[in-house]
Structure 1
Amino acid sequence: MNRFVRPSKYRHVFGTAAKRDYCYDNVRVSLNAWDTNMVQVNPLFVSMNWQSSGGGAFAVIPLSQVGKLPDNYPLYRGHTAPVLDTDFNPFNDYVIASGAEDSKVMIWTIPEEYDEELQEIQPVLKLSGHGRKVGQVLFHPTASNVLASASTDLTIKLWDIESGQEKQEVTGHTEIIQSLSYNYNGSLLATTCRDKRLRIFDLRSNQVVQEGAGHQGIKGSRVVWLGDSDRLATTGFSKMSDRQLYLWNTGDLSKPIKTEFIDTSSGVIMPFYDNDTSMLYLAGKGDRTIRYYEYENDELYHLSDYRDVEAQKGLAFMPKRALNVNECEIARAYKITTNLIEPISFKVPRKSDAFQSDIFPPAIGDEPSLTAEEWFSGKNADPKKIDLSEGFQVKEKQDFTPSASAEETEAPAASPTAPKNDKDVSNILYSIISTILNSNSPLPHKKVKLNNHLYIP
């Protein structure tokens, strides 16, 4: 009996890890248990959450600086608690955002050259408004200088980082937000949550467009939008702790259109989708394997696995514009282990040295389609694309000077709420007493004890 073999240009894609000399060695990966990818990459730099004492820090390493890093590598310090997530601006390779346990979001500009004497880099903007730790930060895919931040205060805030202002607050979650994913033009945002619900938000109107029951396991789940289609993929766990992959129609989240059992391992699976090749990559934390599938007609066809001896703690993929198209490189992942960042190149085997237009359609470039003001006013636009056959040149460093100062930019004043802790009570009492003592009241000066601290007017 003859078997029909499905035609595919990517059936024989294979992954190759870089040699040790071309990796980034001697890194100190954060030991924080918060579930993020731990690492991000753009055509010039790779960033990672760094394990440090005395507050929070992360490192930004130039891609050209391969090999063993010095022990006193300059870090981005400014947060007073561990950094949980970072994200590069897709339209300015020298700008990066960070979120941390201190409830702050910070924006940084990256120096053009590495300086061993530079021991600390300061943020250009501090955004304050979340009430609890910020677990995810994510730049908008088409509008310039628009940033989303998700916090354990159960809100997502949208910022215009050029003006340093909070533009919108998205509410509707009842538990901690676990992952975020924009659709192709950035008009909608899909989220997974600890309450085991999958939601799609219209960001500018703060409305839940669709909602449904997601993975029912107690461990973390992730979501990724499948490019310019109306499909979502989620990874998570069943009640029996089996790892699952679901495919969803964004018009109806009442039930997934496809479900797939993966295995019984315990690591959270990080999904990554490449719209140009219609390939979905799945990398489990603590795994030594990266699975990749091809999406076609509501089916996910398993292509192959990349296997390694070192387990991964996190993973990030290089933007398509910076790949080596002359070697038929269709994807490049940056895998982080205990003390190493390792590039992994995925290639299609071809004999010809000519540009392969069938596997390299026009890719998303580094020019925004909209300004922040246009997007917040209601406009939508698809990402601008570039022709990879003509080569890609990284833009020179652009000055980024937000109109707000580097001091903390507070969100609009909220309605009065009950104090959350002793520190809040102490601050309120201090304010009341200071107002009384600075008035014309003939009250005598007294010693006042606030939260075990002695205040003497």
Structure 2
Amino acid sequence: MSGRFVRSSKYRHVFGRPTRKEQCYDNVRVSRNAWDTNLIKVNPKYLAINWESGGGGAFGVIPLHERGKLPERIPLFRGHTAVVLDTDWNPFNDDLIASCSDDGKVFLWRVPENFTVTPDIPADEIQDVNPVGKLSGHPRKVGHVLFNPAAENVLATSSGDFTIKIWDIEAGAAKLTLNVGELVQSQSWSANGSLLVTTSRDKKLRIWDVRQERPAHETNGHSGAKNSRCVWLGEHDRVATTGFSKMSDRQLALWDIRAPREPISGFKTLDSISGVCMPFWDEGTQCLYLAGRGDGNIRYFEYENDKFEYLSEYKSGDPQRGIAFMPKRGVNMHENEVVRIFKTVGDTYIEPISFIVPRRSELFQDDIYPPTIGLKAAMGPSEWLAGKEAIPPKISMASLYEGAGLKEVTPTQDKPTPPPKAAEPTPEPTPVVKGPPPSMKEQGASMAAMVSKFADEDKPDEADDSSSFEEVSKPVERPSAITLSPADDVEPPAVSPPHLWRAKSAESAQQPASTSDANTSTAESTSAVPADAVQREIDAIKNLIAEQTKTIAAQAQQVQNLTMEIEQLKAKLED
């Protein structure tokens, strides 16, 4: 098709590369519990796995560099009296992890120093790891744990008692409680940690103002009977959800959190596969990844102009039940890897999948590796509870690429979660070709206003402060141009308009006339300096007005030419 349009994107050819089995994490025992969580979690140092074990609940932790087949007996993180349902790594400390269980307890753990799953001791002497903290408050099972992405040591837990508790793990106490009224199926924090989005069994999508302990918005989500998932799109004020229609078709939806009554562009049908779609957002590439639970496919979309543009799909014959998403600071930039996903295969081994931008250059690719969140939180738990909102400082990916460690490049941002249109700090200038051109009457009025303004500048005492033309002359610093002598005690106030500065300088030039004759010559020299400076400013303004007049005349000529072309086209159409 000769006229086919291909959307430009640097991620259009991203492909997923599997890992050879000998480089996977083999001989694991993934929990066979039917609870709908991701089963595994990863950070740049460790991989956590909900473990299938008897005699209570446990999960395993594997250092990422210890690949291959695991021994039959490894040290487990054991302490729950029922099966472990979910885990989550602390985003600001790679050695801390939280777990929740069917026993209603939430435990906090610290990975021991020099931890390994292959200790050089007999198997019967291997010691399990004990928790370092315990959070009790839910009377029923706790299904999800999720650390706040901006505030340090703030943890959200959802339970079968139909509530979400917000914990300050430093104090070991629940500070806030969200009464959902139904079983929570998934939850996701906003980038600044002030809002929380949830999906639940009653098919409602709720956006919680957490510190007010109430939903800011509540609307109907996916109408299907199966579980739905949600994910916050990083620093945007958008949320993506996956779920099912009444006909059991898998769906994807994009929501504006300011008006979430209906999804943007409606519910998009993906396919008719029965497995839950697990969504993951990558802030660096602005891409959404959807991994099917029970199938081996991973689709990815690029978010652009409030739409998800389909990129491609990684297909595999090995179905996954659990998925983990590596934080950006853990990817391999030397191979142009933008995302690394870990998937469970047959509940017996974990396979890493690298998503790579195919490029030949061996240099650092700064366009696909923008600054990312590091290990420093934006605030502590007390500041967060007091109402502070901020996004953590970001680190340079180039410093990680060069092996220089974590280097902050972006300070803590006080205005988090901006709308997509306000993502850039400075708006793009509006091109002249956009919108209807100004009429000749409007241009004439504009020129007359500028001429009038020029006349006012010749009479500084009658300057019009309300005129917008002062914005044009703003780069000229008038106070610095007016140099007063040490004998002059009068200084222009910092907030005075320019015409008042000039008036005061004239008064100060006249003051020495009433003093002794010996100071007369000095007064005349000091009064001449501001007069010359003002004259130079007036000349500069005259030149500026002349240039603007030429520009407006050229635009008027362009409008006239366009009008003539339109008339000619009309005449041709009439013929």
What is the rounded CA distance, in whole Å, between the counterparts of 1:182 and 1:389 in structure 2? 27
Find the residue that maps to 1:78 and give its secondary structure. strand
Contact 2:24/2:68, CA 8 A, preserved across alignment: yes
- Name 1:33's counterpart in structure 2: 34
Partner of 2:374: 365
Return the offset for 1:119.
Answer: 2.7
Instruction: Determine which structure has more spread, i.e. the larger CA radius of gyration.
Output: 2
Q: Distance in 2 between matches of 1:11 and 1:301?
A: 10
Q: Which residue does the alignment assign to 1:152?
A: 160
Q: Quick one: distance in 2 between partners of 1:379 and 1:139?
A: 17
Counterpart-to-counterpart distance in 2, 1:30 and 1:326 = 34
Query: Aligned equivalents of 1:333 and 1:148: distance in 2?
Result: 24
What is the distance in 1 between the residues matched to 2:31 and 2:240? Answer: 28
**8 A Cα contact 2:29 2:52, kept in partner:** yes
Does the alignment pair 1:291 with 2:299?
Answer: yes
Match of 2:398 in 1: 389
Unmatched runs of 5 consecutive residues or more in structure 2:
407-575
Query: 2:16 matched to 1:8?
Result: no
Asked if structure 1 preserves the Cα contact closer than 8 Å seen for 2:399 and 2:405, the reply is: no
Q: CA RMSD in A?
A: 1.2
Residue identity matched to 2:353: I
Task: Indicate the SS of the match to 2:343.
Answer: strand
8 Å contact kept, 2:163–2:181: no
Does 2:21 correspond to 1:20? Answer: yes
Q: Equivalent pairs: percent with the same residue?
A: 56
Number of residue pairs matched by the alignment: 394
Higher strand share: 1
1:122 corresponds to 2:130: yes
Judge which range, 235-244 or 113-122, deviates more: 113-122
Check whether the contact 2:43–2:94 (CA below 8 A) recurs between aligned residues.
yes
CA contact (8 A) 1:213 1:253 kept: no
- Greater shift in the superposed pair: 158-167 or 76-85: 158-167
1:163 equivalent to 2:171? Answer yes
Q: Does 1:189 align with 2:196?
A: yes
CA contact (8 A) 1:144 1:368 kept: yes
Residue 64 of structure 2 aligns to which amino acid in structure 1? L
Query: Which residue does the alignment assign to 1:135?
Result: 143
Measure the CA separation in 2 of the matches of 1:82 and 1:378.
36
For residues 89 and 149 of structure 2, the distance between their equivalents in structure 1, rounded to whole angstroms, comes to: 11
Q: Find the residue that maps to 1:342 and give its secondary structure.
A: strand
Off by >3 Å, runs of 4+ in structure 1: 115-118, 392-395
CA contact (8 A) 2:244 2:251 kept: yes
Deviations 1:132-161 (A, max 9, x none): 100000001011111110101011111111
Match of residue 285, structure 2, among 274, 277, 290: 277
Which residue of 2 is the match for residue 265 of structure 1? 273
User: How far apart are the structure 1 equivalents of 2:239 and 2:387?
Assistant: 24
| Separation in 1, partners of 2:182, 2:126 | 41
> Alignment partner of 2:383: what SS?
helix
Deviation (angstroms), 1:21: 1.5
Contact 1:43 1:394 in 2 (8 A): no
The residue matched to 1:142 in structure 2 has which SS? coil
Alignment match, 1:67: 68
Q: How does 1:75-94 map to 2 (within 5 A)?
A: 75-94=76-95
Q: Is the 8 A contact 2:41 2:324 kept in 1?
A: yes
1:427 paired residue number: none
| Whole-Å separation in 1 of the counterparts to 2:383 and 2:357 | 40
Q: Distance in 2 between matches of 1:111 and 1:381?
A: 32
User: What residue is the counterpart of 2:555 in the other structure?
Assistant: none
- Aligned mates of 2:283, 2:91 — CA distance in 1: 16
Task: Supply the distance in 2 between the matched residues of 1:333 and 1:68 (Cα, whole angstroms).
Answer: 19
Distance 2:4 2:70 in 1: 52
SS at match of 1:352: coil
Match of 1:323 in 2: 331
Post-superposition Cα deviations, 1:360-386, rounded to whole Å, max 9, x if no partner, equal 111111111101111111111112100
Q: Report the AA paired with residue 365 of structure 2.
A: Q
Normalized per residue, the structure richer in helix is 2
Separation of aligned partners in 1, 2:379 and 2:364: 31
TM-score (norm 1): 0.85
Unmatched runs of 5 consecutive residues or more in structure 1? 396-457
Amino acid at match of 2:390: A
Q: How many angstroms does 1:118 deviate by?
A: 3.2
Deviation at 1:393, TM superposition (A): 7.0
CA contact (8 A) 1:197 1:211 kept: yes
Q: Is 1:346 paired with 2:355?
A: yes
Higher relative contact order (CA 8 A, sep 6+): 1
3-state SS, counterpart of residue 80 of structure 2: coil
Q: Deviations over 1:347-405 (max 9, x none)?
A: 1011110001111111111111101111111111112100011116779xxxxxxxxxx
Amino acid of the structure 2 residue aligned with 1:321: R
Which range is displaced more, 23-32 or 256-265?
256-265
